[in-house]
């Protein structure tokens, strides 16, 4: 559930009181997603190239809600090799953020296993939030993957 969906459960009856089943939904969701999750972040640069070169990341369409794939180089900009197995093995519980230092971000749920395409991985995604304009070619971005362990 999104934050907005969780917050919408709180004042949902006529006298403004939260109901027990709504509170149980909120606590369960927070426990499953935040309390039992792990993640990591890597430094990349945004690219407009069709195939992302080393240290680069891009979406298949654009920086918008229509993107269905995220293409991520197997080597981050600083030479680190991120592990995609955790996201691939637990894709139904994974979420990806691509963000700039200025607060621009693209947030997506991972909808399937990562596909190894040689020098980069293709992550099938469903974009759930876009804030701000797309980074320019070669702008630094942080790619963060978080996986719920339940």
138: three-class secondary structure by DSSP: coil
Among residues 4, 26, 38, 27, which one has the least CA distance to residue 150? Answer: 38
- Mean pLDDT within 104-129: 92
72 compared with 19, residue with greater pLDDT: 72
Whether 129 and 16 have beta carbons less than 8 Å apart is answered as no
Mean pLDDT of 111-122: 90
Q: pLDDT tens digits, residue range 5-41?
A: 766 767 655 666 767 777 777 777 766 655 566 778 8
72 vs 17, more confident: 72
8 by DSSP, 3-state: which?
helix
Cβ-contact 138, 57 below 8 angstroms:
no
Query: Mean pLDDT over all residues of the chain?
Result: 83
Q: Which pLDDT score, from 0 to 100, does residue 12 have? A: 58
- Burial class of residue 102 (count of CB atoms within 10 Å of its CB; 0-12, 13-18, 19+): exposed
């Amino acid at each position: 559930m999104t934050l907005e969906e969780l917050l919408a459960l709180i004042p949902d009856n006529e006298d403004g009181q939260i109901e027990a089943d709504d509170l149980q939904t909120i606590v369960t969701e927070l426990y499953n997603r935040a309390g039992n999750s792990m993640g990591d972040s890597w430094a990349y640069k945004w690219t407009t190239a069709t195939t992302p070169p080393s240290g680069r990341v891009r979406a298949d369409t654009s920086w918008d809600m229509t993107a269905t794939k995220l293409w991520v180089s197997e080597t981050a900009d600083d030479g680190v090799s991120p592990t995609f197995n955790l996201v691939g093995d637990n894709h139904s519980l994974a979420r990806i953020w691509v963000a700039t230092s200025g607060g621009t971000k693209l947030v997506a749920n991972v909808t399937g296993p990562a596909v190894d395409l040689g020098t980069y991985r293709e992550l099938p995604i469903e974009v759930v939030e876009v804030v701000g304009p797309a980074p320019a070619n070669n702008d630094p971005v942080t790619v963060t993957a978080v996986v719920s362990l339940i």
